[in-house]
Chains A and B, each alone.
Chain A
Amino acid sequence: MTLTTPRHLPPAERAAWSSRPARRPRRSWSARIIGGIGEVLITLGILGLLFVVWELWWTGIEAESDRQDTLEEFYAQMPQPPGGESAGESAGDQGPQPADFEVCYTLEDGTEIGCAPIMEQLASTGQVMATLYAPRLGDQWAAPVREGVAAEQIDRGGVGRYPSTQMPDQPGNFAVAGHRNTYASMLGRQDELQIGDRLYLVSPDGMYTYEVAQRQVVAPSQTEVLAPVPGQPGVDPETGMLTLTTCHPMYSNAERLIHHAQIVDFTPLGGEVPDELAHHEPIREMFYAGGA
């Protein structure tokens, strides 16, 4: 084979180009073998880099679109607030119209925490049971919560609930896991949460509001962070907690990053939502967004 003669060269150089030998002189066998080994090593290096690209970036593409589809499906089947279809608009004049709800337990300050029968049922049938909001992590940050922490739940964008933990309508620990660096990295910025930040769990039964109370880094084997009273397995819980777990440090899975949040409020459908959630259209339709 020869390279085609470049047309832009002056005639003398074109002649020189054309008169090059058709093949380079054969390399010795040892040179060819060493060259071949070199090419194999370069190939392996490129494959390794591609795997990193896949892990950190490619996995996120599908997971992110899955997350958005899931959110749409979740809100499409949401119950309407009291007052029917038009409640969303008319509520603007009449103020919040909180729905009646069954009280499952009461916090020390008297706040009544509603029961979550629909959420329970969604969880048991493997559907998305709620969506978690953390305004600190971004205006549009919204994590669908699935039941279970296996790959088929947490690889789809969003977070998964540890089935051994408690539901939010009872005292205990509602613990979820999410990816830090891969599969759309739902909890990639979990470490930006600060003590006192609010987390909102929006479910068809109402909204559970939590306040971040503690951050810690533990070994993957330290399952006591999932206990009903985190850190104290075997102790009976008196209040509700929400626990976020993800990989730590970034780009490693040597440890786990844990944030515990304490329940501070419950809002039934039609109740008033805080301003930091009011820009979410589906939430405005379920609740009463005062200033919006």
Chain B
Amino acid sequence: MYAWFFNEVLPGPLWLRIILALLIVAGIVFLLMEYAFPWLSEYSPLGDVTLDEEA
């Protein structure tokens, strides 16, 4: 999967493909950190520090 993406999808010589791959990884990590994980954490109880007043 990743080998195919690196070899067949990314254009250009090796150095360009390495740079592109790093940029794509950085972009995905940023999107995860800024959007995906905050959304996910609303469904996770890990950030809950309070005493359950209503519960």
Contacts and interface: CB of A to CB of B under 8 A. Distances in A.
Contact of B51 (A39, A155, A180, A220): A220
Contacts of A164: 53
B49 A178 contact: yes
Interface in A30-59: 35-36, 39-40, 47, 50-51, 54-55, 58
Contacts, number: 76
A253 interface: yes
Contacts of B33: 50, 54, 58
A187 B32 CA distance: 26
A221 B32 contact: no
Interface in B15-49: 29, 32-33, 37, 40-41, 45-49
Given A36-B1, A50-B29, A1 B51 contact: no
Name the prevailing secondary structure of the B interface residues. Answer: helix
Interface stretch (A114-122, A222-230, A283-291): A222-230
Contacts of A151: 47
Contacts of A253: 45-49
Nearest to A61: B33
Contact of B47 (A4, A40, A179, A245): A179
Contacts of A3: 14
A223 B53 contact: yes
A200 interface: no
B37 to A, nearest CB: 4
Given A51-B40, A55-B37, A221-B55, A177 B50 contact: yes
Majority secondary structure, A binding face: mixed
A223 B51 CA distance: 6
Contacts of A54: 32-33, 37
Q: How large is the interface on A (under 10, 10 to 19, 20 to 34, 35 or more residues)?
A: 35 or more
Nearest to A182: B47
Nearest to A243: B51
Contacts of A221: 51-52, 55
A245 to B, nearest CB: 6
Contacts of A222: 51
Contact of B50 (A35, A39, A245): A245
A157 to B, nearest CB: 13
B40 to A, nearest CB: 7
B13 A4 contact: yes
Interface of B: 1-2, 7-8, 13-14, 29, 32-33, 37, 40-41, 45-53, 55
Given A55-B41, A253-B45, 11 more contacts: A1-B7, A4-B13, A50-B32, A50-B33, A51-B32, A55-B37, A164-B53, A220-B50, A223-B52, A245-B50, A246-B49
Interface of A: 1, 3-4, 35-36, 39-40, 47, 50-51, 54-55, 58, 149, 151, 154-155, 162, 164, 177-180, 182-183, 187, 218, 220-223, 225-226, 245-247, 253, 256
